[in-house]
A = this chain, B = another copy of it.
Amino acid sequence: MALDRLKSVAQHVTGTSPPPHPFDPLSNQEIESAVSVIRAAKGKLFYNAVTLREPPKKEMLKWLESPSTLPRPTRIADIVAIAPGGKVFDGLVDLNAGKIVKWEQMEGVQPLITMEDLQIVEHVVRKDPKVIEQCVISGIPADEMHKVYCDPWTIGYDHRFGSDVRLQQALMYYRPHIDDSQYSFPLDFCPIFDADKQEIIHIDIPEVRRPVSKAKPNNYHAASIEAEGGYRTDIKPINITQPEGVSFKVEGRVIEWQNWSVHVGFNYKEGIVLNNITYNDHGNIRPIFYRLSLAEMVVPYGNPEHPHQRKHAFDLGEYGGGYMTNSLSLGCDCKGAIHYMDAAFVNRAGESTTIKNAICIHEEDSGILFKHTDFRDDSVVVTRGRKLIVSHIFTAANYEYCVYWIFHQDGTVQLEIKLTGILNTYAMLPGEDTKGWGTEVYPGVNAHNHQHLFCLRIDPNIDGPDNTVFQVDAAQGAGYVGSKENPYGNAFYAKRTKYSKVSEAISDYDGVTSRTWDMCNTNKLNPHSHKPVSYKLVSREVPRLLPKEGSLVWKRAGFARHAVHVTKYDDDQILPAGRHVPQTSGEPSRGIPEWIANGDASIDNTDIVLWHTFGITHFPAPEDFPVMPAEPMTLLLRPRNFFLRNPALDVPPSYCSTPSQILEGKQALDLKDKASKLVVVGGSGDASAQGASCCQK
């Protein structure tokens, strides 16, 4: 330990640091190295992204088997840059060799919109005479343009403008006062911004005009709450502490916890990326997932009137879940004993930047892990569970997405997403009919129907990379009631359908059969059940894509057409709506529709990727406004036939007694939590927790 400290100090002093893990995101230093290599060769460029190009999986799997003896895979930077005039370049830089290994000008594509890109639009909009004219028509005096705001979105796709010019659509709002929530004062017109010329090239103006609302502001900030009677005063603190430290270990970006090991990566598009997830099964390190990430999402809005069809943000591919990530705060976003990781990015000028505390890692109690009481003698085991949570939060203009990757002691990996933030809103006239396409959540505020559809990319590695997916449906047994095979009519079973080729794997959710999907290693059977070792995808929030077949959203968000697609693994297939999403026309559809074009490709017992689209359909209500209480959705990846038995049996119980102990009056195992207290209820009805700890029943 003393020696370790010394080494750590030495590193600090000499400035040397251990070489990065091949999955580590590029460091600030590596980002700047990559930029300097490009700059030397290519001159002045605006940088859109400099990120890790992950090592080829084949090479990486080999390295993971013997990391101490094999050479580390080369560090490659993946670069997207835009030249003055708007030319887009994709490049790769070998950081070990310090040289460009690929440099390609991309035609007819637009890379994502960065925060810097976004910030410019509002300034331009406020000075544009045609926008000012529209503001005046909306009822905003020309000298109040500083009160006009916009949420710039990529244009999505508009056939009038195509893909060659980099465009944003400015969703317009007004703030009577700088601190007022602008979403209560939407404006009815939509300027189009040319990112290269930095000017407004068009304004979409509706036929029916809707002047800015005269309603009073609808705020949630402290001053407004104070003015309405103040904050409630009856919430007593809950303290969550770990006086002996946390139960996880951190080695670089590898977290070890409760037999789990996972490398926590991060990139500008997907945000958190979990790699090389393994489970130490009694000394046997078993691979489970090579890579897990939220790889894309789309938020189609359901109002058919022009230009609302353009509202269908791909928040990851068009803006970047990493780029939009929040710097998290202790005691605010995160409660308990917290380990943070930062995120390094490039800015437009090519300098490296850092988002502090981009990722939060912490443990939580998770209630009862298992319990059983023998009704004969009350002999009992009760064991509490624990979970490890790796999370980040990103702000996509009005919305916030809180992403929680949760590891459980029973071998389950859970993905939970909470939606909060503010509804996207549009202007409406007093008494106007929303026609069912939205809800008047506040006078003059129409919150349109929309879906939040996420694409989870699962790269399974269930005891090795050769895996097979089976669809599992709960099915009634054959035979009528009274038949020989089903005399009582009660027979039912898990109907398993193997996905042998890509075309068979294009599948939807079926609530009637409680459909799940098993990712199996068919080469390895569970010794007890004689079934293939597997992880089961259990996901119940799986709406269909509501925009119709052939619609713009349907064409652009090909991944969202079905709940599950399975493809053969390919190093280049990470982003299911394609690498450059803004202004894609959907003709042809990028990403998954391309990758499943050959429906006959085998996905049987080979290296595969499962793409799962899930989410919610959101019909707004006044309760969601002016800021929305978090709406949770969740899915599970559960071990089935993977372990020989419940893998958490050796988690220390809170209490464990056996029949013989009870019979013989012997001491049971009592490891109860000593910090818990009984509430003392006073005569006045007030309840406090000052009583002594008590474990008597």
Q: How far is the CA of A652 from the CA of B233 in the complex (A)?
A: 8
A476 and B546 within 8 A (CB) = yes
Q: Does A53 contact B (CB under 8 A)?
A: no
A408 to chain B: closest CB distance in Å? 8
A481 to chain B: closest CB distance in Å? 4
Which residue of the partner chain, among B332, B340, B494, B511, contacts A672 with CB atoms under 8 Å? B332
Name the CB-closest residue of B to A691: B337
Q: How far is the CA of A109 from the CA of B60 in the complex (A)?
A: 68
Q: Does A397 contact B (CB under 8 A)?
A: yes
A441 to chain B: closest CB distance in Å? 6
Q: Does A370 contact B (CB under 8 A)?
A: yes
Q: Does A597 contact B (CB under 8 A)?
A: no
B627 and A529 within 8 A (CB) = no
Q: Does A242 contact B (CB under 8 A)?
A: yes
Tell me which residues across on chain B come within 8 A of A229, comparing CB atoms.
Answer: 282, 650
1/0 per residue, CB under 8 A from B, across A1-41: the answer is: 10011011000000000000000000000000000000000
Tell me which residues across on chain B come within 8 A of A247, comparing CB atoms.
Answer: 234-236
Tell me which residues across on chain B come within 8 A of A436, comparing CB atoms.
Answer: 493-494
A230 and B494 within 8 A (CB) = no
B649 and A384 within 8 A (CB) = no
Tell me which residues across on chain B come within 8 A of A371, comparing CB atoms.
Answer: 333, 393, 400, 402, 420-421, 630
- Sorting the interface of chain A by its residue count into under 10, 10 to 19, 20 to 34 or 35 or more gives 35 or more
Q: Does A351 contact B (CB under 8 A)?
A: no
Q: How far is the CA of A655 from the CA of B4 in the complex (A)?
A: 38
Tell me which residues across on chain B come within 8 A of A672, comparing CB atoms.
Answer: 329-332
Within 655-697 of A, Cβ neighbours of B (below 8 Å) are at 655-656, 658-660, 663, 669, 672-679, 681-690, 693-695, 697
A622 and B528 within 8 A (CB) = yes
B385 and A474 within 8 A (CB) = no
Tell me which residues across on chain B come within 8 A of A302, comparing CB atoms.
Answer: 477, 490-493
Tell me which residues across on chain B come within 8 A of A616, comparing CB atoms.
Answer: 514
1/0 per residue, CB under 8 A from B, across A238-258: the answer is: 111111111111110000101
Q: Does A58 contact B (CB under 8 A)?
A: no
Q: How far is the CA of A441 from the CA of B663 in the complex (A)?
A: 30
Q: Does A285 contact B (CB under 8 A)?
A: no
21 A-B pairs (CB sep. < 8 Å): A235-B651, A236-B244, A236-B245, A237-B243, A303-B491, A304-B488, A324-B375, A329-B672, A332-B672, A338-B676, A338-B677, A339-B678, A356-B697, A370-B627, A385-B629, A481-B551, A488-B547, A490-B548, A526-B621, A526-B622, A623-B640
Known: A8-B683, A492-B546, A695-B332. A237 touches B244 (CB 8 A): yes
Q: Does A270 contact B (CB under 8 A)?
A: no
Q: Does A46 contact B (CB under 8 A)?
A: no
Tell me which residues across on chain B come within 8 A of A682, comparing CB atoms.
Answer: 1, 4-5
Pick out which of these stretches binds chain B: A81-89, A114-122, A194-202, A573-581.
Answer: A114-122
B651 and A232 within 8 A (CB) = yes
A355 to chain B: closest CB distance in Å? 9
Tell me which residues across on chain B come within 8 A of A548, comparing CB atoms.
Answer: 476, 480-481, 486, 489-490
A523 to chain B: closest CB distance in Å? 18
Enumerate the 7 nearest inter-chain pairs by beta-carbon distance, A residue then B residue, closest first.
A511-B511, A489-B551, A245-B688, A337-B689, A4-B683, A410-B629, A309-B488
B241 and A684 within 8 A (CB) = no
Within 373-411 of A, Cβ neighbours of B (below 8 Å) are at 373, 375-376, 381-382, 384-386, 393, 395, 397-398, 400, 402, 408-411
